[in-house]
């Protein structure tokens, strides 16, 4: 089975435990204003014109974002790093984009990884039918699950969709006793306020348990900015500053007080 991905990043250290190979899937059902991979949102392979300067000459080069790959071939590619994964207690992370939009392909790939005892992480925004999640559940060791808002209207305003499915799927993964870490992006002027954080905390507290007690805070950063001009996409976060650590620590403490293990990524 073939899927469409747009990058394979080796030696990744921010997408789960240890040293990992992260596979970036093309396509996402959200359009977050702060997305730092805007080239991932369209599920199709896209072409764009890149301007390159070589020895003072400017060249316009046609490039493609995304390519098709078979699960078997992807597996052969990632297995090359198995030694680093084992030595560091790392593994493979499916990210994107939204990996669970290509759930059959993801399940086939993960199944191959699990046959080789490779630790698997799914980095997801959760806005997919639960049937998609069910397909990959047997082959997933850990979910990194984004929660941006509890308030559905706010969620729709800033991501384009409501969060009913996202919150329900989260509960169902917890019920299935899968290990899950919640990731909360901290976006200035959008969700970085006491009301939004309080609502998320109240939603999470009753679900806390053996398999879910960790939260990662992901402060907004500028690394995706250059991509907006490169891919000619409007950057709605133009001029927004990255939050200061002094603003992040009180949020960390706020979740810690409720008994969560909290890290800042
Ligand atoms: S869910 Fe992630 S990949 Fe999708 S638009 Fe939002 S930030 Fe981008």
40 lines ligand 1 (CB under 6 A): yes
Distance 124 CA to ligand 1 centre (A): 9
Residue 75: give its domain's CATH number.
3.20.20.70
Q: Which of 72, 30, 26 is nearest to 166 (CA)?
A: 30
Total structural domains within the chain:
1
Distance 118 CA to ligand 1 centre (A): 26
The answer to whether 48 touches 230, Cβ cutoff 8 Å, is yes
236 lines ligand 1 (CB under 6 A): no
Interatomic CA distance for residues 71 and 3, integer angstroms: 7
Q: Output the pLDDT for position 184.
A: 98
* Domain residue limits at 255: 2-264
Exposure letters 43-80 (e unless 16+ CB within 10 A, then b): beeeeeeeeeeeeeeeeeeeeebbeebebeebbeebbe
124 lines ligand 1 (CB under 6 A): no
Nearest CA to ligand 1 atom 6: 32
218 lines ligand 1 (CB under 6 A): no
Q: Which of 131, 158, 134 is nearest to 32 (CA)?
A: 158
Q: Output the pLDDT for position 233.
A: 81
Low-confidence ranges of the chain (pLDDT < 50): none
Nearest CA to ligand 1 atom 3: 97
What is the model's pTM?
Answer: 0.95
pLDDT digits (tens, 9 = 90+) for 203-241: 999 999 999 999 999 999 988 888 887 777 889 999 899
């Amino acid at each position: 089975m073939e899927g469409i991905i747009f990058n394979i990043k080796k030696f990744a250290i921010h997408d789960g435990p240890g040293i990992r190979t992260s596979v970036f899937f093309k396509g996402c059902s959200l359009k977050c204003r702060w997305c730092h991979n805007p080239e991932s949102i369209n599920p199709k392979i896209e072409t764009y014109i890149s301007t390159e300067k070589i020895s003072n000459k400017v060249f316009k080069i046609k490039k493609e974002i995304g390519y098709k790959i078979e699960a078997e071939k992807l597996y052969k590619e990632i297995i090359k790093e198995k030694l680093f994964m084992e030595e560091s207690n790392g593994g493979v992370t499916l990210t994107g984009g939204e990996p669970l939009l290509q759930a059959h392909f993801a399940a086939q790939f993960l199944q191959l990884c699990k046959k080789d005892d490779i630790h698997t992480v799914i980095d997801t925004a959760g806005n997919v039918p639960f049937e998609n999640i069910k397909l990959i559940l047997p082959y997933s060791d850990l979910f990194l699950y984004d929660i941006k808002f509890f308030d559905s209207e706010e969620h729709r305003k800033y991501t384009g969709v409501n969060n009913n499915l996202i919150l329900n799927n989260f509960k169902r993964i917890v019920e299935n006793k899968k290990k899950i870490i919640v990731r909360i992006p901290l976006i200035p002027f959008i969700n970085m306020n006491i009301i939004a954080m309080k609502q998320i905390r109240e939603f999470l507290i009753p679900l806390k348990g053996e398999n879910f007690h960790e939260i990662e805070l992901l402060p907004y950063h500028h690394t995706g900015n250059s991509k907006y001009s490169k891919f000619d996409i409007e950057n709605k976060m133009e001029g927004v500053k990255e939050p200061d650590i002094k603003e992040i620590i009180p949020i960390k403490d706020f979740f810690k007080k409720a008994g969560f293990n909290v890290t800042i990524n």
